[in-house]
Amino acid sequence: MKIDGTHYRTIWRGEGEASVVVIDQTQLPFRFATRTLNRWQDAEEAIRTMVVRGAPCIGATAAHGMCLALAEDASDEMLETAAKGLKAARPTAINLMWAVDEMLAAVRNRPRGERLEAAWARAAEICDADVEICRRIGAHGLKLIEQAAARKKAGERVNILTHCNAGWLACVDWGTALAPIYMAHDKGLDVHVWVDETRPRNQGAALTAFELGGHGVPHTIVADNAGGHLMQAGLVDLCIVGTDRTAANGDVANKIGTYLKALAAHDNDVPFYVALPYTTIDWTLPKGVGAIPIEDRSGEEVTHLTGRTADGRIETVQVSAPGSAAGNPAFDVTPARLVTALVTERGVCPASAEGLLDLYPERRG
Ligand code: MRU
């Protein structure tokens, strides 16, 4: 996608044998900055501290982290150390584990002298494939928005609610949940997006709004708690969100607060769609509720807020009563029964084991 007229992906190879460049998402929406990663530990840190975030983007960064490790030392020991370190950077998004395993499979059985080149090639493939997958998710999801538009009276816009950021910044390009929205807008459909601010890290207010604004898509940021009211008032035609891990039965883990939106959507007969690439499906988990590991992050993300002051400085301030404890579970799991359908690169399916297996028959036992 474009920033100020220039097309960017979220990650690309830098100069030389050991250099990867990522967009520093902690600086957005106020400043466009990149970060150069030279060692696998830089990639691990970028993932852990959310310089990069969003399940597919985390996976792409980890894949490149494995290249950086091999550039330093192509030994088996290094492979194991980097793989273990990268996988531990964040626990919920399964794309991270998937990408590291893909890299191990691509290089493990090769002579040391061939490993680095093979690793760069596989990392590039993972990124190119992610772009194409997201484009296909967009095309399938577009049909759902078109169906919603067909149900509206002439001149009425389609109102879509989304949570967190599942746009191009969370992937390599396009995004998952936002790809259908971009395509609908580009096709001339009158869409408007309710953007949940997504406390505590504000991925909605900062990143989704930045993306949609950059693409010219009409949108309004709302407090996280506004969704139920908007749905009750008939102001939401459909919800669409991303996911960090989807269990084999269609339960989906996504940013904290997603479950509450799904409950409100269910109570108000608003379709609730979840968009995902196959790399987000954890076939080893028969169900997600109670089984998907939920990242616990620092309470400081709840007690403090970062923003821009009137004179342009970026500052972090405390917004809570000093001394009070704060809890910060970063994800929740929405049970499949609350999900109207899953939107994947292969098409749209019911959020159920059968629905997923119909789209991915090679996974049948
Ligand atoms: O903590 P984050 O910002 O990495 O969480 C991201 C999300 O929850 C996204 O919705 C999810 O990764 C899907 S991204 C296509």
pTM: 0.98
Tell me, using a 6 A CB cutoff, whether residue 56 lines ligand 1: yes
Q: pLDDT tens across 270-320, in order? A: 999 999 999 999 999 999 999 999 999 999 999 999 999 999 999 999 999
Task: Check whether 232 is labelled as a binding-site residue.
Answer: no
Q: Is the pLDDT of residue 184 over 90?
A: yes
Q: pLDDT tens across 191-201, in order? A: 999 999 999 99
Q: pLDDT tens across 202-216, in order? A: 999 999 999 999 999
Tell me, using a 6 A CB cutoff, whether residue 261 lines ligand 1: no
Boundaries of every domain in the chain: 2-129, 143-363
Q: What pLDDT does 17 receive?
A: 85
Tell me, using a 6 A CB cutoff, whether residue 10 lines ligand 1: no
Q: Is the pLDDT of residue 365 over 90?
A: no
Beta strands (DSSP E) in the chain are 2-3, 6-7, 11-13, 20-23, 34-37, 158-162, 191-196, 219-222, 238-241, 245-247, 252-255, 272-275, 281-282, 304-308, 314-318, 331-334, 341-344, 347-349
For this structure, is 244 an active site residue? yes
CATH of domain 143-363: 3.40.50.10470
Task: Check whether 90 is labelled as a binding-site residue.
Answer: yes
- ipTM > 0.85 for the complex: yes
Residue 149: is it exposed, middle or buried by C-beta count within 10 angstroms (0-12/13-18/19+)?
middle
**In testing the pocket of ligand 1, which one of 243, 246, 273 has its CB within 8 Å of the most ligand atoms?**
243
C-alpha to C-alpha distances, 87 to 43, 46, 97, 329, 337, nearest whole angstrom: 11, 13, 6, 19, 30
CATH H superfamily, domain 2-129: translation initiation factor eif-2b, domain 1 (1.20.120.420)
